[in-house]
Structure 1
């Protein structure tokens, strides 16, 4: 993920009061202690975690629990670390496992079952299929899409690309940077978009064309966007980058009314992020309360401005400009979770053979 991107207190207190009575019955399995709530909660997450102190203080005020955030690289690295440490968990819970890696965490047995007490009706459309929904709760989503630096293209008097096919055209040679599919969940999402577009028989030929067109592959989003992208934080030389449909609003210059970049909505893969209780947690009830809190309005409303993602609660009003400059993809490419589970390792091996990464 990227690294830069209220319900009333009465409602929140009411939910937590209900939780105090009901949590033991709908909570975790095989956890260290399910009889009391600890005052400290350790949550493992990716490096893109960014939530306001005010929102986190609201949770502490309501519950008496202090949350300690433990970042563990990209979502893929986070998932791998949880699998490797499942017999001695590094935290009480996790936020940031996405739908490209979710089945690995579920199948490896690192999670305890839990569903939030109350959640918006729209959450169901983002849930994992089958029993996976019992282990991971959808919190937010984003569309991984190709982004272009419109200012750069205007200065060069070159029409920007609009489709995945365009990226392999000679006019855009040496202009695109993406994240590695083996090292970044953003990169893996882009790989899945190409698999959704070209199919299992055609995506490797497409990537060969990208490589021949001097595609640059970076380790993670931070390097691709902030360093190599011309509209990022550095002095990059690549005006095409794999990022998010929610990225453009954050390139609106001070005093201006529109962004200098745009997302190509015909190139996207929808990425959903989840939270869950880790099996063997020292504070499972505390993590259950935190999942309840993340599902409530105050946390959901804070997601766009803090983590550049869309809340799964569709009743939340998005920040000004998002409807215009950060619309979701109307028809993102889809790869069923079961297919990702069955083929992820093979696809990554094949991708590595094609790209040399």
Structure 2
């Protein structure tokens, strides 16, 4: 696990990287960057991606760092509209598939992606004598009453990603009806992913056997199982057009006095060693197709269903309305 700041020798330039709380890279890779560029990397975590984006916007005239990592495609337009980032296109961007480069081109660089969807605790559902749900409609039925925990879209990026997926899945006219049905069926809402997964999810000793998380979470559970196991204790619920692809970006913060070093850090994040480290550290896929991913990703976390279709323009235009309407329907 990375310390908040690595290195610290006199004469070194410090580069501050604003991140979300889930950012992790192997310490040796950070040290290699520091040694190569005679620099110290300081990480400044700012909560969930949503909280981090809000912080970047509020501090844009006096930025707290030089680079930001972890703004995703649910919140990106907010940061772009506020003029948080400085223009930069890495020479390594040409390796990245075009589908990841559509948003924020020239200002932010895609680094990784994942799929937001429900996981379930296999043993917990079996103990209840309940078959795993296959659709979002299933979750609102009586047999799954009180079994589902989600993150609040006002404060959580996976929560917002999934809210957008429900708009795509049910349509503008129908998505709130589903959410109201879920509320009536004992839906639990928490502020962020870490609380949902590590406190509420039954696998970790909580009460809910169904959690809004990521398609890679079952692979992660198998990779890091203690004691080791061949299978995963969790599995995915992947309804066609009900899964959201979340893309995370990095960008140089406007106003930095360390432009050259900041550019090198963006390039570093796209390098094959870092891209191959990302899956095992943050349970997401690298955008660089030259990077290998753990075998468990294909065994337990493959996503082949059609994805929820939510355009950047729709997200930018409707994000706040969707959140406000959801809040009235689910929390009030």
Aligned counterpart, 2:255: 280
Q: Take 2:98 and 2:39, find their aligned partners in 1: how far apart are those partners?
A: 28
Q: Take 1:288 and 1:123, find their aligned partners in 2: how far apart are those partners?
A: 20
Indicate conservation of the 8 Å contact 1:50/1:307, yes or no: yes
Aligned counterpart, 1:136: 108
SS in 2 for 1:225: helix
Q: Take 1:81 and 1:299, find their aligned partners in 2: how far apart are those partners?
A: 26
Residue 44 (structure 2) pairs with residue 70 (structure 1): yes
SS in 1 for 2:202: coil
TM-score (norm 2): 0.92
Once the two structures are superposed, what CA deviation does each residue of 1:30-75 show, in whole Å capped at 9, x if it has no partner?
xxxxxxxx72100101000111101111211222222110000000
Indicate conservation of the 8 Å contact 2:93/2:109, yes or no: no
Q: Take 2:289 and 2:183, find their aligned partners in 1: how far apart are those partners?
A: 39
Gapped runs of 5+ residues in structure 2? 2-11
Query: 1:187-336 maps to which residues of 2 (within 5 A)?
Result: 187-232=159-204, 235-252=205-222, 253=225, 254-266=227-239, 267-336=242-311
Residue 316 (structure 2) pairs with residue 341 (structure 1): yes
SS in 1 for 2:115: strand
Q: Take 2:94 and 2:39, find their aligned partners in 1: how far apart are those partners?
A: 24
TM-score (norm 1): 0.86
Q: Take 2:331 and 2:139, find their aligned partners in 1: how far apart are those partners?
A: 19
Give the aligned length: 317
Indicate conservation of the 8 Å contact 1:119/1:296, yes or no: no
Residue 202 of structure 1: CA displacement?
1.0
Residue 129 (structure 2) pairs with residue 157 (structure 1): yes
SS in 2 for 1:236: coil
Q: 2:155 aligns with which of 183, 186, 198?
A: 183
SS in 2 for 1:321: helix
Q: RMSD over aligned Cα, in angstroms?
A: 1.4
Moved more, 238-247 or 252-261: 252-261
Q: 1:329 to 1:243 in 2, by over 3 A?
A: farther
Q: Take 2:147 and 2:304, find their aligned partners in 1: how far apart are those partners?
A: 23
Identify the structure with bigger relative contact order (alpha carbons < 8 Å, sequence gap 6+): 1
SS in 2 for 1:134: coil
Residue 199 of structure 1: CA displacement?
1.2
Gapped runs of 5+ residues in structure 1? 4-37
Query: 1:90-129 maps to which residues of 2 (within 5 A)?
Result: 90-119=64-93, 121-129=95-103
